Chains A and B, each alone.
Chain A
């Protein structure tokens, strides 16, 4: 049922746990590099599979964003059963879910990598706004599958593998949009220390503009790390190593935590 690369994975390690959440339309294999590096650093790693992912694009038709929140909830429960402390790490849309977990669950830290503030600002706003309205009003594409109408600029620092869905039902964009709205609503309630990792060229290369997420966060120990984007497909690339190093440093900075 689950395609190769779509399987969640668990890497046993020390009493500090890392819950990894993949991006929209990708699968756990795409963050294997991060899981491996964190596990080598001594962490227990659990990378979950989000509902509708790792199977076939059509399953996203039936997906609601609360299913993804429930997946994170499950993963956190399972990881917490064997780790004293747990942080939640997500890439892009996975980071959105990690931030939501930072407000809802008793997590010890949140890491959001290349996470946009909303769906529209990160992509082609007008085309997408029209598309979402069409889906909502006339039920366009309720049963169809489309090729993505945009490229996800946030993924610039992560190499694109062959494991992502190359198409998805437009219906799911409503859910992605809804998830961002939920994140924006919940951001002021994130109480766990938070690390935001961004590529230097994220947000259209305006490197001096602080992340919009940062502005809305109330968490006291929030840190923003910028990683120079890489164009290498080697795994792990220098940029991936820098991301892993930033996370390991973040964990070390969490007070009272020991590896």
Chain B
């Protein structure tokens, strides 16, 4: 019987009344945001890192996943935290950031930290050409191998728990999810912090600019870091990300919303 990938399990650290709900990215696992969660927990926060549906099991589970399943996975986390936490801050990496922004429009959240989050599907020409036939195509060609890792920190590369393929069937789901995110961005009015790496080759920083500009919130800020790939919570500059996220959470914690 298949289990959750070792190291890819969800995590929970009990703490104070400020709940940090941490969400990993597409085809990744809670492992990529665990160190961020541990950092926030050492600052006294309650931290829950959820596992998105069909992640951290087998990549063959992914074609069954729809975008609303991933929303529901994070929503589950919100309901678990809200009984014990008076304020909830969402922190999401990449696709996790898009889900966090979407949920911030549905539930009373205190703030969102959006890390390496795309504005739309990557502008890979293959995706643009294949997009109309991708659903039938995914039946014949379910997944495509990921490219070589581009981590600055070799230990981050070695520790990574993830799928090594991109499931084709998920592309239209991501497309809809980013579209939903773009729909809610102008409607939001809560504090949001964007963090992105200058050297993010997978999702270039102009995606952050586009999200930032579309966001309705008055209280919004952005930080551009250096020396990191797309996975900024794991790569060489992660400490900088943890501190920025923690400062944001501290500011929210001191503020009644």
Q: Which residues of A contact B (CB under 8 A)?
A: 1-2, 7-12, 46, 48-49, 51, 54-55, 59, 62, 64, 66-67, 69-70, 73-74, 77-79, 81-82, 100, 104, 182, 186
Contact = CB atoms under 8 A, between A and B. Distances in A.
Contact of A7 (B10, B48, B57, B76): B76
10 contacts: A1-B68, A8-B76, A10-B81, A10-B84, A54-B72, A62-B64, A70-B3, A74-B10, A78-B48, A81-B12
A9 B4 contact: no
Contacts of A55: 68, 72
B2 A64 contact: no
Given A62-B64, A64-B64, A11 B13 contact: no
Interface residues of B, number: 31
Nearest to A49: B76
A35 B10 CA distance: 22
B71 A1 contact: yes
A153 B251 CA distance: 54
Contacts of B127: none
Contacts of B72: 1-2, 49, 54-55
Contacts of B10: 74, 77-78
Contacts of A104: 1, 3
Interface of B: 1-4, 9-14, 48, 51, 53-54, 57, 61, 64-66, 68-69, 71-72, 75-76, 79-81, 83-84, 106
Q: Ordered nearest first, which 10 A-B pairs have the shortest CB separation?
A: A7-B79, A81-B12, A10-B80, A78-B12, A62-B64, A77-B9, A1-B72, A82-B14, A1-B71, A74-B10
Contact of B83 (A10, A66, A70): A10
Contacts, number: 81
A9 B79 contact: yes
A12 B65 CA distance: 31
A108 B3 CA distance: 19
B83 A9 contact: yes
A74 B11 contact: no
A212 B13 CA distance: 40
